[in-house]
Structure 1
Amino acid sequence: MFTGLVQAIGTMKPLGGDSWQITFVSQSADVIMQDLAYGDSVAVDGVCLTVEKILDNGFVATASPETLRRTTLGDEQNPEHYVNLEPSLRVGGKVGGHFVMGHVDGIGQLVTAEQTASSWEMTFTAPDAIARYIVPKGSIAVNGISLTVAAYEPELSQFTVAVIPLTYDETNLRDLVPGSWVNLEGDILGKYVEKFLSPGQQGGKTDMVTPEFLAEHGYV
């Protein structure tokens, strides 16, 4: 589990087979390297990968063909692109963003990025697999970055986020251009709410939360 607060920037290049080398390039790499251990989970552009070998300034991880197909990590047009890096949340650690699982729901594209007096306003497309979890003022992870939805246009399948200068400068959002692909993960809370509110079959009865059900159990 992660919080969507990127700790460092790195590059990712193929080593052959399913192995990839992630190399730290930002000065904040020590934050991750000093506590990195074999078997740890690290979010790479929002994708949870397992550390299989520790290098002097990075690590080696496996990204399966399924992971590459469903995320931007296997971008053949940009094989050594910059990636956002975040170590997994430790017990007792600060949750500064929101709960991010590292399981990408879909891929979106940057539509526009406009600088304002106090932030960057970035608009992305969202596939149906994640669009249903997007709500104004709700949370979404873009390339592993915890962001707040400023606006959502369902008819266009687009959402807009306001990115503060610190986040823009210290992540790979700064490298995006219109048409760039990004990994998207919806808020896990929305997924559970959706499941609890959806009809299902359990013991031959329809299992669904209704106003009557809520009233019966004291929610009035």
Structure 2
Amino acid sequence: MFTGIVQSIAQVVAIDDRPGLRTFTLEFPPGFLDGQEIGASVACDGCCLTVTRHQGPQRADFDVMQQSLNLTTLGGLQVGSRINVERAARDGVEIGGHPISGHIDCQARVASVRRPENNHVLRIAVPPAWMRYVFPKGYIAVNGASLTVAEADRSAGWFEVWLIPETLRQTTFGDKAEGDALNLEIERGTQVMVDTVRDTIDERLGPLLPALAALLAEPDIAARLQARGIDVAAATATLQLR
């Protein structure tokens, strides 16, 4: 388990490809690997990887299977790439972010970057199937960092995070540009709650959902609902996300 508080930035210094397996050699800042044993876990851009070999005090090897290369951004890393890293949490450690498993759910992409004074805003586009788990003021892990969702538009399929200078200093987010891929891990408590509600609705209202969607598409019905302050577009998007 990890806390989502990125501890440092590591750099890819070597890549070794074999059939179905890729080995990354990462270089870490001085002291990061102190006391670490073979078999320990490190979150690399949010992906839980196992240390397979140490090469001196600042370098370690990690094996990554083909499935992980396909699912995550690790498949796009090259020599010189920089990534966020965090060692596995220990008992009694302060959890400054939220519990993270290191199992990536999907890739997202940077839709836009804004830079208000002393802030840095990333708008992140999310695959529709995962957007149902993203809520304003909720937690989400992006490249291993526990971040708070500032704004979210579920119908448009994006959310925004605001990053302070300290976060930019400690992570690679300042390097990200429009179109760059990111690893997302959904907060598990949110996922369980949403899936439980969805399953309950399916059991009780499932046969009625097509009829409800058709009603919302009727101009007269939509106008009456909007007159009562109901956001018809959001309701329709919710049905579609199901």
Residue ranges of structure 2 left out of the alignment (5+ in a row): 205-242
SS in 2 for 1:73: helix
Partner of 1:21: 25
Partner of 1:120: 120
TM-score (norm 1): 0.84
- 1:188 and 2:188 equivalent? yes
Residue 130 of structure 1: how far off its partner (Å)? 2.3
When the two structures are aligned, how many residues end up with a matched partner? 197
1-structure distance, mates of 2:82, 2:130: 24
Answer whether contact 1:150 1:161 (CA < 8 A) is retained.
yes
Residue 198 of structure 1: how far off its partner (Å)? 4.4
* CA RMSD of superposed structures (Å): 1.8
Query: CA deviation digits over 1:44-72, x for unaligned, max 9?
Result: 00000011111221211111000000000
Query: CA deviation digits over 1:64-112, x for unaligned, max 9?
Result: 0000000000116x45411110001101011000111111111111112
Partner of 1:162: 162
Query: CA deviation digits over 1:7-52, x for unaligned, max 9?
Result: 111122412222211111x4xx41x311321111100000000111
SS in 1 for 2:161: strand
Partner of 1:73: 74
Answer whether contact 1:130 1:185 (CA < 8 A) is retained.
no
Amino acid at match of 1:15: D
Partner of 1:212: none
Sequence identity percentage: 31
Partner of 2:233: none
TM-score (norm 2): 0.76
Kindly name which structure, 1 or 2, has the bigger radius of gyration based on alpha carbons. 2
Residue ranges of structure 1 left out of the alignment (5+ in a row): 201-205, 208-220
2-structure distance, mates of 1:145, 1:182: 11
Answer whether contact 1:42 1:87 (CA < 8 A) is retained.
yes
